[in-house]
Amino acid sequence: MNFREISGLIFIVGLGLLLFALLKILFVEQLVTGGIGANILATAPEEVGTANIVTSVLLAYRGLDTLGELTILFVAATAAGLVLGQRSSDAKHDPDAGFILHSAADVLFPFLILLGAYIILHGHLTPGGGFQGGAILAAAFFIPILASPASPLNHRVSSAIEGFAGAAFILIGLFGLFGKGDFLAPLFGTGEVGNLFSAGSLPLLYLAVGLKVGAELAGLLAHLHETEAND
Amino acid sequence: MLVWVVLISVVVMLVAAVAVLFLKDFLAVTAAASVVSLALSVLFVALQAPDVALAEAAVGAGVSSVIFALTLRRVGLWKLETKKDK
Amino acid sequence: MTEETTLVDFISYVGAISLILLGIFAMVTFRHLIRIIFGLMLLEAGVNLFLITIGYRGGAVAPILVNGELPTAAMVDPIPQALVLTAIVIGVGVQALALALVIKTYKAYGTLDTQILAQKIAEETGTKLIDGIPTPISDTGTGLEESLSTKP
């Protein structure tokens, strides 16, 4: 045990005492949002028309934050691609995966696509949405690469999808700005709460989010996978 | 009932978190990190946050573990066993 | 607030704070870069759990309408959930960027130990290692660098 570990331990114990002292204050109701949450819960079904209120917070009340979040993800994925760089064309690939992963990749691919699309399109009705479904789509496109490492992902197509989805998100926001006076204001009325075609433009926004997250994560995983191992 | 679910998942989560810090094999550490995410997503369901639970299960336990495993492969902490070596 | 709710709140606060502390401990103490990133991951998970627990109300249901009607019971706060949802995805992006940098570091220096890395960087750039940090030594310095570096 050296000096660094001992000082780290002392620091952690002190911080722990401080945080546990905060526990007493934390048992006050509505500490963080101060009643905004209750207002949103009461008015969201009529104003926005989503059955899943988290979705209405994400895309309608705090839609600008989601745009910023997508920007952060885009920057992180781009920077990771930039740092990892292009692979040299004569670098050797990992060995092919065995029979089990090969067959499983073929069988799983359509089901994963279906599940991802379902979760994205029902994001305004049930738990789930663009982020979760996007991660599942990325997994669907990554498993075949894992099964046969020599067949690469087409980065051109994934970047095109990503750019298109991001532009669609901003375009829908701009339509809201010119039509209703607010950036990302929901369009097309609310519809009947609980139907698949309801909540105005929110399902379209979530579709854009899902495609963007899926393309970004798939591109990121493929970039990491394409970097040569030197063993 | 709810208390027991929360208690068990918190205990599993903390044991896995300690395993993340002190296991020697990095592949086992990645598996333990995945267990932390899974226990956390059970906890999110118990705390009435199904959206977050789905995100944690798909992103935290799935994509994140794959990213770690790929990195371990690239920095030589996880060697693949090929037919030649046997 | 019933007895059970208080207990659930308390247990998950303890879990969240323990995860945060374990994460910070790993980031402060360990020297292996990948271990440090695992610490960052635990810290993130702890903060997410903390926020969700703040939004939790005893006896409340998830903020989702069934058959288009508001449920009779109270609903939990949706705002922390929306925050955490984006935070999880951002966390993965940050992890991937950090690990990409780790891969590049390993390719350039062949090690992931922070102290050996600092030594190698100091040798390469011709700087002096002061308290584990490569520090440039200027000729017209204020004398602070010398007094630090000549300390036994």
The structural domains of chain C, with segments of one domain joined by +, span 1-60+73-112, 114-152
* Cα(B51)–Cα(B5) distance, integer angstroms: 19
- Domain presence at residue A62: yes
Classified as helix, coil or strand, A52 is strand
Q: Do A127 and C65 touch (CB under 8 A)?
A: no
Judged against a pLDDT cut of 60, whether residue A73 lies above it is answered with: yes
Residue type at C61? V
| Contact state of B76 with A227 under an 8 Å Cβ cutoff | no
User: Which pLDDT score is estimated for C151?
Assistant: 46
Is pLDDT at C2 greater than 90 in this prediction? no
State the architecture of C1-60+73-112 in CATH terms. Answer: Orthogonal Bundle (1.10)
A83: chain C residues, CB-CB within 8 Å:
97, 100-101, 103-104
A193–C24: do the CB atoms touch at under 8 Å? no
Determine, for residues A51 and C65 on separate chains, whether the beta-carbon distance falls below 8 Å: yes
Contacts of B15 in chain C (CB under 8 A): none
B71 vs C contacts (CB less than 8 Å): 34, 99, 102-103
Asked if the model's pLDDT at residue C1 lies above 60, the reply is: no
| pLDDT the model gives residue B34 | 92
User: Which residues in A lie closer than 8 A to residue C77 (C-beta atoms)?
Assistant: 30, 32-33, 37-38
Q: What angle do CA A228, A136, A86 make, to 5 degrees?
A: 20
> Is residue A6 assigned to a domain?
no
Q: What is the mean pLDDT of residues A51-76?
A: 85
Cα-based distances in Å from B13 to A20, B7, C15: 19, 10, 8
- Decide if A31 contacts C54 (C-beta within 8 A): yes
For residues A21-36, give the mean pLDDT: 64
Q: Which residue of B has its CA nearest to A217?
A: B63
Which residues on chain A are in Cβ contact (under 8 Å) with B82? 95
Question: How would DSSP label each residue in A163-192?
Answer: HHHHHHHHHHHHHHHHHHSSTT---S----
Asked if the model's pLDDT at residue A16 lies above 70, the reply is: yes
Computed on alpha carbons and rounded to an integer, the radius of gyration of chain A in Å comes to 22
Look at residue B33 and tell me whether its pLDDT is greater than 60: yes
Query: Does the beta-carbon distance from A33 to C86 stay under 8 Å?
Result: no
Query: C-alpha angle A228/A218/C33, rounded to 5°?
Result: 55
Q: Return the sign of the alpha-carbon dihedral for residues C65, C70, C75, C77.
A: positive
- Is residue A25 assigned to a domain? no
Produce one character per residue of C104-142: b if its CB has 16 or more CB atoms within 10 Å, e if not.
ebbeeeebbeeeebebbebeeeeeeeeeeebeeeeeeee
Using alpha carbons only, what angle is made at residue C137 by residues C136 and C141, rounded to the nearest 5 degrees?
Answer: 125
CA–CA distance, A91 with A228 (Å, rounded to integer): 7
3-class DSSP assignment, residue B18: helix
Please enumerate in sequence order all residues whose Cβ is within 8 A of that of C28, keeping only pairs 6 or more positions apart, or say none.
A4, A8, A11, A12
Kindly report the three-state secondary structure assignment for every residue of chain C. CCHHHHHHHHHHHHHHHHHHHHHHHHHHHCCEHHHHHHHHHHHHHHHHHHHHHHHCCCCCECCECECCECCCCCECCHHHHHHHHHHHHHHHHHHHHHHHHHHHHHHHHCCCEHHHHHHHHHHHHCCEEECCEEECCCCCCCCHHHHHHCCC
**How far B38 CA sits from the closest chain A CA (Å)?**
15
Q: Give residue A230's pLDDT.
A: 57
pLDDT category, B85, cuts 50, 70, 90?
Answer: very low
Cβ-Cβ contacts under 8 Å, C26 against chain B: 20-21
Q: Which residue has the tokens 């926001």?
A: A173
Contact between B67 and A138 using a beta-carbon 8 Å cutoff: no
Taking chain C, what is the end-to-end CA distance rounded to the nearest angstrom?
Answer: 60
Q: Do C29 and A23 count as a contact with CB atoms less than 8 A apart?
A: no
A91 touching B (Cβ < 8 Å): no
Mutate to test the interface with B, among A131, A146, A230 (most CBs of B within 10 A): A131
Do the chains contact at B67 and C96, CB–CB below 8 Å? yes
Q: Is residue A84 part of a domain?
A: yes
Given a contact as 3+ CB pairs under 8 Å, which chains touch C?
A, B
Single-letter amino acid code for the residue at C106: Y
- Please tell me the least confidently modeled range out of A38-47, A155-164, A189-198: A189-198
Residue of chain B nearest C7, judged by CA positions: B3
Question: Which residue in chain B is spatially nearest to C90 when comparing CA positions?
Answer: B59
Residue in chain A closest to C89 (alpha carbons) equals A131
Q: Find the domain containing A211 and state its range.
A: 32-226
pLDDT attached to residue A58: 84
| A164 vs A39 pLDDT, higher one | A164
Residue A181 Rama label (left phi>0; alpha psi -120 to 50; beta): left
**Would you call C25 exposed, middle or buried from its count of C-beta atoms within 10 A (0-12, 13-18, 19+)?**
buried
| Residues β-bridged to residue C135 | C128
Cβ of B67 and C92 within 8 Å?
A: yes
Residue A11 lies in a domain: no
Chain B residues in contact with C14 by the CB 8 A cut-off are 10
**Contact residues on chain B for C52, CB-CB shorter than 8 A:** 44, 47, 49, 52
Residue partners of C68: CB distance under 8 A and separation at least 6: A45, A51, A192, A193, A194
pLDDT at residue A28, as a whole number: 58
Position A1 in a domain: no
Average pLDDT value for residue range A63-82 = 87
Q: Tell if the CB–CB gap between C88 and B67 is shorter than 8 Å.
A: no
pLDDT (tens digit per residue) in A129-154: 888 888 898 888 888 888 877 777 77
Count up the domains in chain A and report the number. Answer: 1
Residues 6 or more apart whose CB falls under 8 angstroms from that of A73 comprise: A212, A213, A216, C89, C90, C93
Residue of chain C with shortest Cα separation from A225: C100
* Dihedral over Cα of C32, C33, C34, C36: its sign: positive
Give the per-residue pLDDT at C140: 52
Reply yes or no on whether the pLDDT at C51 is more than 50: yes
- Are A165 and A225 in contact by the 8 Å Cβ rule? The answer is no
Q: Would the CB atoms of C18 and B17 count as touching at under 8 Å?
A: yes
In one letter, which amino acid is A136? I
